[in-house]
Chain A
Amino acid sequence: MSVQLDARPPTPAARRTTRPPRAFRLSRLDERYSPYLYVAPFFVLFGVFGAYPLIYTFWVSLHDWDLLGTEHPFVGAENYTRLMADPDFWHSVVNTLGIFVLSTVPQLLAALWLASLLNRQLRARTSWRMAVLVPNITSTAAVAIVFGVLFGRQFGMVNWLLDLVGVGAVDWKANRFASWVAISAMVDWRWTGYNALIFLAAMQAVPRDLYESAAIDGAGRTRQFWSITVPLLKPTIIFAVIVSTIGGLQLFTEPRMFHSGTNPIRGGPLRESQTMTMYMFENAFAPHYNFGYGSAVAWLLFALIAIVAALNVVLLRRLGGTDRPVQARRSRKERPR
């Protein structure tokens, strides 16, 4: 990316030559402090909606905090030590990671493939590009309810189709792996198109001369894709992976709405697809109303996301070999390819 180096505001020269008049002093104040005002909206919003809840949640997690109670005794790290020894918590961690891997890996690969398809010369290209985003603008709850019905044990369409091809019915909601697959299908249906568009945008920024010289050197389409497109897309892929990590590990609406009936927050009778956020909700709200314990789950979730995101970045750096900066000077009319 080229950076516009001359974008700094002009510095007032000759500041010390005369005694500053009043208006000038005001403008100096303005110059010195107004930039802070300009960036303040973000930091104020972040402080109110980001930092404050974060710190408050941590404060709550150090207490025995009954949601409706009036007294909240300080218990130190007790919530955390209990959580570490809580098998249901670790069960939900495994579920979360399982659903995350099962949904994110195919999702990003499919998005990459879709993006490269959309990047070709196609008839009605814009409509195709719009079309892949359609699942993303539907309401999550509606999608989850529809998928919940599709994956029903006795009246679901998926089992009906399986039956047609001679495969026995699957109890999608009371089988751990099957419920992971069903929920991943839901997530992928919704998010693949979105990631494909992000990849597509990045692909269009890849300079065309690289492909031309590769073609001259005899590289085929596949070779071009893996040796040029993918390495140059690395920053975008890292971005997509991190965002998917955050979203995937916080999965709540899909698994929650997938289950209906009594205690859907458990994610199945044996907690087959209870994610960490659902476990947090179960403890902080019904039926336990133990806000302190729920907050401790929230903080461990935060830690887990940070760890997994960092791991992803390291892993991707390794896989992609050395970082190759894009030294392209591309002219605008070259795009789109």
Chain B
Amino acid sequence: MGVFPRRRLAAVALAAATALLATAGCGGDQPAEGGPVTLTVDVFGQMGYAELYKEYMAAHPDVKIVERGTGGNLDEYSPKLTQWLAAGKGAGDVVAIEEGLLVEYKANPQNFVNLLDHGAADLRGNFLDWKWEQGLTADGKQLIGLGTDVGGMAMCYRKDLFAKAGLPTERDAVSKLWPTWRDYIATGERFKAADTGASFLDSATNIFNTILLQTAGNAQGYHYYDTGDNLVVESNPAVKQAWDTTMDILDSGLSGRYGSWSEEWVSAFKQAKFATIACPAWMTGVIEGNAGPAAKGRWDIAQVPGNGGNWGGSFLAVPKQSRHRAEAIELAKFLTSAKGQIGAFEAKGPLPSNPQALDDPAIADSKNPYFSDAPVGKIFAAGARSLKPVYMGPKNQAVRTEVENAVRTVDLGQRDPQQGWNDAVANARKAAAK
């Protein structure tokens, strides 16, 4: 009989076990006094810290920094981090938290060091106001995370495919093609008619998120939950408007149906199977990683249709379980300083949330060689100070998952738009109640 529960446990805790094994081999056990300290930094995606670590270690010879999770998917990172926090063991000394997940962590702030107790209050001026506010708990007494980046929006496109379709390829001309989402669809129809063998955009979910965050930011400033934490998926006109626009895009047959972040999606990047992708600042690093060096100079960046918007952006926090809190806090402060944010931007493109960094010529005049020397500083940083954030409610992640999935079922032709919308509303309600 012994085999039943043991095997079952193995299934339940598959990821947890891996996490434990991983941590067993990690640093953090060194005595704090005297000897060198190893700080583990947990990240997802491309934060662009490699050079900054080197610099920091050179200035602090007693500190060694190890980064885990580089290039990873947020969907895999979030449950792992939550398990580490729940288990009281395993998390890095500094952890990256995406804004959507931060909302859930704020409900249980006891897992994190209150950075206000460690001199962070003086740093307030280093961040855009709303970015600073996002890191605070509802009562404003605890600061969980220091902001890293914000997700100012643009539209990335492949010049070679545009040329093949007879569309303009120069970025200002391309920006003029689509002042609104209607125009974006019209351009897509022209692209499709040219029959290049590629689709106009990758898939429905990225574009849906972009439109939604833009629409909601420009309207009432919330999407799935209102600021009183009531679920408003069904009644919020911003959600419905973003849904309808996305459905129009799908109706025109513009989507390549490459599920975002899947292996097919990555392959489609490599094989130039789609021409445009909604492009928050952090996406530029992802595109470069997925499309690879062979596509250097084939991509470019134009303005996003509609008007502005913010998608994503992260924070650095120090879990209470860290054995080297003081050192970890110092490192987090360094990485989120103007200097740290400029360094990250230069390496992988995440747009600073630090006003001084945004003003810095290193950002304002910067160009991205991968994207045909596009003036990324001008494109992204220009709008960054006027970004309109979107409020996120308590079960934001679960609700967003359901709505995004409903979008995907329509994208794949499994549901018609009306059924999809009904699913989105019903499943969001169910998820919020769980």
Contact = CB atoms under 8 A, between A and B. Distances in A.
Interface in B18-59: none
Interface string B62-88: 000000000001010011001101100
Contacts of A253: 14
B12 A50 contact: no
A270 B401 contact: no
Nearest to B78: A286
Interface string A39-58: 00010001001110110010
Contacts of A68: 82, 85-86, 104-105, 107-108, 111
A246 B4 CA distance: 7
Contacts of B205: 262
B252 interface: no
B3 interface: yes
B9 A290 contact: no
A301 B8 contact: yes
Interface stretch (B130-138, B291-299, B370-378, B402-410): B402-410
A298 interface: yes
Interface size class of B (residues with CB under 8 A): 35 or more
B422 interface: no
B82 A285 contact: yes
Q: Is the interface of B mostly helix, strand, loop or mixed?
A: helix
A152 B264 contact: yes
A70 B88 CA distance: 12
A68 B4 CA distance: 28
A277 B398 contact: no
Contact of A287 (B105, B262, B398): B398
Given A68-B85, A262-B259, A277-B12, A269 B2 contact: no
A305 interface: yes
B359 to A, nearest CB: 35
Contacts of B111: 68
B421 interface: no
Given A246-B4, A269-B408, A269-B409, A260 B86 contact: no
Contacts of A289: 82, 104
B142 to A, nearest CB: 14
Contacts of B412: 171, 174, 269
Residue of A53, A70, A290 ringed by the most chain B CB atoms within 10 A = A53
Contacts of B127: none
Contact of A49 (B6, B258, B414): B6
A49 B2 CA distance: 9
Contacts of B409: 269-270
B79 A285 contact: yes
A264 B108 CA distance: 26
A67 B261 contact: no
B265 interface: yes
B220 to A, nearest CB: 24
Interface string B102-113: 001101101100
A149 B262 CA distance: 10
Given A50-B2, A155-B267, A174 B414 contact: yes
A261 B265 contact: yes
A222 B261 CA distance: 52
A250 interface: yes
A284 interface: yes
Contacts of B73: 262
A266 B398 contact: no
A73 to B, nearest CB: 15
A174 B262 CA distance: 13
Contacts of B405: 263, 266, 269
A67 B7 contact: no
Given A152-B267, A270-B414, A250 B11 contact: yes
Contacts of B272: none
Contacts of B12: 57, 277, 280-281, 284, 298
Given A69-B107, A154-B267, 19 more contacts: A46-B6, A49-B9, A68-B85, A68-B111, A70-B108, A152-B267, A153-B264, A246-B4, A260-B263, A261-B261, A261-B262, A261-B263, A277-B11, A281-B12, A285-B79, A286-B78, A298-B12, A302-B4, A305-B4
Interface of A: 42, 46, 49-51, 53-54, 57, 66-70, 145, 148-149, 152-155, 171, 174, 246-247, 250, 252-253, 259-266, 269-270, 277, 280-281, 283-290, 293, 298, 301-302, 305-306
